[in-house]
Amino acid sequence: MTISPTASPARSAAAMPVLIALSATHLLNDMMQSLIPAIYPIIKTAYGLDFGQIGLITLTFQITASLFQPLVGAYTDKNPMPYSMVAGMGFTLAGLIGLAYAGSYPLLLLSAGCVGLGSSIFHPEATRMARSASGGRHGLAQGIFQVGGQTGGALGPLLAAFIIVPRGQTSLAWFSAAALLAMMLLAWTAGRHAALQRVQAAAKAAKQSAGPVVRERSTAAVAFAATILVILLFSKNAYSQSFSSFYTFYLIGKFGISVQSSQLMLFLFLASSAAGALFGGILGDRIGRNKIIWFSILGALPFTLVLPFADLFWTGALTIVINMIMSSAFAAILIYAMELMPGRIGLVGGLFYGLSFGLGGIAAAMLGELTDRIGIEAVYRICAFLPAIGLLAWFLPKITEPRHG
């Protein structure tokens, strides 16, 4: 099966103000989400939790997002609702305040679920906006969008180290200001996007030029390729979740460093995702999605296999390299899926942000239970083989796509 893009009129310039605003709101959204795993060392002690319960918090957040994102995306493909993201951010705000003042473990789970619901509303519509504002540079647009999310995700541990750890769980409520700022940015972005859509609709090429035509494809073939893409993202997200949820415990237990030092190292691991996402998006426009996907698999695997045997310095260095390489493929995988299912941008965004991250949450819960049984160092030796699942990319169909200089 070969996928080729539709011939389209001259490419328009990317709507950079919209892309930058979407990236900024993605930063704020994912920064607030990343505060959940960043406070795990605090709430583990305060509530007397075991690793299984920690994994269940991650599962609750991820499953809430997973269940609703594809549904939201499928609905908004037919009924675009750009202002719905403002309401979604309201759920994130409520969840954040709940996490700050939760008096019991069930309330922690409920609050984490609210944050996940906010994510499920934000990502599908924001993904469609980024695609529409790309001007044909889909990799660049997704890379810019992803830089915001990855940077925001990396800021959580840093903020936890310098604000939440010294000031306590209730300091989470301070970050409600970030949610309010995101709501204002999203309202502005929705208005600008509506104007952009009117201009594109005048040429009657917006959605067709935003997605390629898939030739000689059957529903079964597309479903098979999409399943492989989901599995690829699952392997990457499961590996990343092992770090987001348990890396600080691994560093503290193996090397005896402080909580703040472990949070700083978690920040370095997560921050490397931003560079990898932007690099992968831009390079994917130039050399093609398939090559980027293979690079992320073959490039990371040797380093993940060495990591469990490294000392403290090389543990930090290797995790940065690993995450940069692995995160380079996200934009390529997402755009590949959009080219498989043209006109279903919201569904693709919801499916791949929701389902794949939800599966990552399931992996976090399973890894938590496994850690309680065999120990965290043994779990990281097992996780080292997860990127090898990416070898399934061999079965993906080739994509014929334009190159952008």
Closest CA relative to residue 367, chosen from 64, 61, 50, 55: 55
Distance CA 78, CA 92 (A): 25
Neighbour tally for 364: CB within 10 Å: 28
Count helices and strands in the chain by DSSP H and E runs? 17, 3
Q: Looking at the domain assignment, is residue 35 inside a domain?
A: yes
Read off the CATH number of the domain in which 348 is found: 1.20.1250.20
Residues near 1 by Cβ (< 8 Å), separated by ≥ 6? 214, 216, 217, 221, 225, 397, 398
* Position 374 in a domain: yes
What global pTM score does this model have?
A: 0.70
Tell whether the torsion through CA atoms of 243, 269, 311 and 259 is positive or negative. negative
How many other C-beta atoms lie within 10 A of the C-beta of residue 317?
14
Considering the domain boundaries, does residue 4 fall inside one?
no
Residue 345 is part of which domain span?
Answer: 12-399
Name the strand (E) or helix (H) holding 398.
strand 398-399
Convert the pLDDT of each residue in 15-63 to its tens digit: 788 889 999 999 999 888 878 877 787 888 888 888 888 888 888 887 7
- Long-range contacts, stretch 376-383, CB < 8 angstroms, 24+ apart: 376/51, 376/246, 376/249, 376/250, 376/253, 376/254, 377/250, 377/253, 377/254, 377/308, 379/242, 379/246, 380/242, 380/250, 380/307, 380/308, 381/308, 383/238, 383/239, 383/242, 383/304
Specify the pLDDT at position 399. 59
Please state, in angstroms and rounded to a whole number, the distance separating the CA atoms of residues 152 and 182: 12
Domain for residue 6, yes or no? no
75 contact partners, CB below 8 Å, separation of at least 6: 346
106 falls within a domain: yes
* CA dihedral sign of residues 43, 47, 53, 56: negative
Total domain count for the chain? 1
Judge whether 305 lies within some domain: yes
Cβ atoms of 193 and 132 within 8 Å: the answer is yes
Please tell me whether residue 399 adopts helix, strand or coil conformation: strand
DSSP state of 362: H
* Local structure of 69: helix, strand or coil: helix
Q: Is residue 5 part of a domain?
A: no
Question: Is there a domain that residue 404 lies in?
Answer: no
* pLDDT tens, N- to C-terminus, the chain (405 residues): 444 444 343 345 557 888 899 999 999 998 888 788 777 878 888 888 888 888 888 888 877 877 778 888 888 888 878 888 899 999 999 999 999 898 889 999 999 999 989 988 898 888 888 888 877 778 788 888 888 887 887 787 778 778 887 888 888 889 999 999 999 999 998 888 766 666 655 555 444 444 444 455 677 778 888 888 878 877 877 787 777 778 888 888 889 988 778 878 888 887 787 788 788 877 877 877 778 888 887 888 899 899 989 999 999 999 899 888 888 887 788 888 888 887 778 788 777 777 666 676 677 778 888 888 888 888 888 888 888 887 888 888 775 555 554
